[in-house]
Every structure is written in structure tokens, then in C-alpha cells.
Amino acid sequence: MNFRQRRIIFLFVSLLWTFSVQQMVFGQKPKPITLDEIISKLTLNSQNEKSADENNRQPIEEISERKVNFSLDEQGEKSLKKAGASDLLITAIYLNSTNKIEEQKVLYQSFVDNYSGSLQQRKIALEAAKEFVRKYSDDKESEKIIEYFKTYIGVVSTPIDPEICCDHPPRNPLYFEFDKAFRSEKWSKVFEIGEKILIKEPEFIDITLTLASVGFDITVSKSNRSYLNETLYYAEKSVELLNNKVSSEHYGVYRYQYKTKEFPDGKGNALGYMNYIIGYIKYFYLDQKNAGIGYFRKALQFESRANRLIRDLDVFPKTQK
């Protein structure tokens, strides 16, 4: 080894040592941010004239950098939202919790221990799956588990039995045919039977919401336009019925129930999402961009799970945001 080679190695080792010392001295991990700190920052930020997104940006950046050391419960979410927290900030808390892995293990184990047991145990398993999906739906590391849980939730959720979930005359054989077709994922049959039900009960909002939602998922998720026209029709029909004060206990069935723990105003959630579906189809599939934006704006008037989806699309003209 010549002098030049030894000098290069010496400089490289020196740099590594210097970097290591800097990491030890300056690179100590900051303490995790607390719930009270986040609420205080949001409250302080809300006193300025900036937008809600800007007020949330700094706390989100701190959460990503410092992590959090608390488990966010329903009361904590309410306190955060009252202080002005966005859905994005709350998601950031779930994804950056130092307790995340342990919490996921507990929920998963609760599901495994109960999903094949008694009726009461299966209810516990269902709640564990729902809680996992609610908290970690944006966690890329848990995609496969979440996909499985979503499928499980859809299969075991309330069937379309009016004695259980719907305010309609009981024992209509078509309800059970619809249920069977849905569970078998025979979508052409689902639309066929759904149409028959609506001929007899044209204001059955649970059916119109479900058909619009199924069709939209097939259109977007599976890149299949077979039900594009039906999807648009049933979404528009749902909006019409809801605006005419047609109500429901659950606003949809199966995994397409719009009255949920997160969105207790099922009507508002349904109206927001149906307007989102209409806007999406018009904007991206029918090349009616202005009309699509109009429906997106209507959707944002409601407290709905569509709100975050619409903002992520970034379709609004910059000067009109």
C-alpha cells in the first residue's frame, strides 16, 4: 500500500469518526411530542390568519420528526379536532406513535383469539379489525393486514336483512338474493337484483348508496368501466333521495355503511361521498372538468371521508383554492 492509498484510507476513517462523534453529541433523538403540546400549538396557530392547512403543517412536521409517546383514543381525537386538527394530522399521530407496533400486535392478537369463537367473540374480533383499519389505514407497512381486515369486515358486517338494518317491510326474498350475490362478489347479479328491489321500493336509499359505491370501486380500483353509467345514475339518485329527506338507520349496507363511528352523521357522509363519485366520473371519465369541480365543491360542504380524497386530487385552479 503506497502513501497515497494510506492517506485516502486515513481521511475516510477520520470522516467516519467525526460523523459518529457528531451523531453522539448533536444527533440525540428529541423527546416525543405530547398530546398537550400538539393541542397548545394548534390553539396558538389558530390565533393567526393563516389557513387550517398551514396551521397544521408545523405540528405535523414535529410529529414526524419527534414521534409521539401516547395512544390516541376517541376523547383525544375530539380534543384535537376541537383545537383545529386536520385528518392528516391525526393520521400522522397514528403513524408516528412509538407505541404503534405494540398497539397493532394487541389488536391483531385480539382478532386472532376471537374470530372463530362464539358470537360474542366474533363481535370482539370484528371491533378489533375495524379499530385496526380506522387507525392504520394509511400505514404502508400494514397494507396486507389492512386489506385482509377490510375484506373480513365486508363479509361479516350486517347483511341486508331489513329486520336487522333497514326500515322496510321484512322477508322480501330479493333482500336475501342480494345478500348472497354480494357475498359471492357476483356484481352483475348485485346490480340486477338491486334494480328489481328499487322497482318495488324506489326510495330504498341503502340500495342506491351501495350500488353507487360498488360500481365506483369496480370502476376506479379495478379499472373496469362496465358499471360506469350505473354508478353515475345511482350516485345521482342517492343525492336526489337524500336531498328529498329520505333517511336510513345506517345509510348503506355491508362495508358501504356511511353512518360510522368516525362519521355519525351518515347522511352528511353519504352526500359528501356521492357528490365525490359524481365529480370524479365527470372529471376523469367524461371529460367534464368544470362540472366535476362543481361536484367536488359540493362534496366539501359535508363532513365526509371524501374530503381528504378530494384535496389529494389537487384539481382546483390554484387561484381558487
Q: What is the pLDDT of residue 6?
A: 46
Contacts of 167 (CB under 8 A, 6+ apart): 248, 249
Return the ∠ at Cα 255 (arms to 172 and 205), rounded to 5°.
50
Q: Are 177 and 238 members of one domain?
A: yes
Q: Are 184 and 314 members of one domain?
A: yes
Cβ–Cβ under 8 Å, residues 286 and 263 = no
Q: What is the pLDDT of residue 101?
A: 73
Q: Are 240 and 258 members of one domain?
A: yes
Q: Are 310 and 181 members of one domain?
A: yes
Find the CATH number of the domain harbouring 203.
1.25.40.10
Q: Are 54 and 185 members of one domain?
A: no
Q: Are 301 and 191 members of one domain?
A: yes
Crossing angle (nearest 10°) for helices 173-183 and 205-221: 20
Q: Are 181 and 307 members of one domain?
A: yes
Q: How far is Cα 199 from Cα 34, in angstroms, rounded to an integer?
A: 55
Cβ–Cβ under 8 Å, residues 258 and 269 = yes
Q: Indicate the pTM of the whole model.
A: 0.51
- Residue 91, domain extent: 35-95
Q: What is the pLDDT of residue 155?
A: 56
Q: What is the pLDDT of residue 163?
A: 39
Q: Are 253 and 143 members of one domain?
A: no
Residue 18 domain-assigned? no
**Total structural domains within the chain:** 3
Residue 15 domain-assigned? no
Q: Are 125 and 143 members of one domain?
A: yes
**76 CB burial (10 A radius; 0-12, 13-18, 19+):** middle
**242 CB burial (10 A radius; 0-12, 13-18, 19+):** buried
Residue 278 domain-assigned? yes
pLDDT-flagged residues of the chain (< 50): 1-26, 161-171, 321
Q: Are 193 and 303 members of one domain?
A: yes
Q: Are 152 and 247 members of one domain?
A: no
Residue 29 domain-assigned? no
Q: How far is CA 276 from the centre of its chain?
A: 14
Q: Are 299 and 214 members of one domain?
A: yes
Q: What is the pLDDT of residue 191?
A: 96
Residue 40 domain-assigned? yes
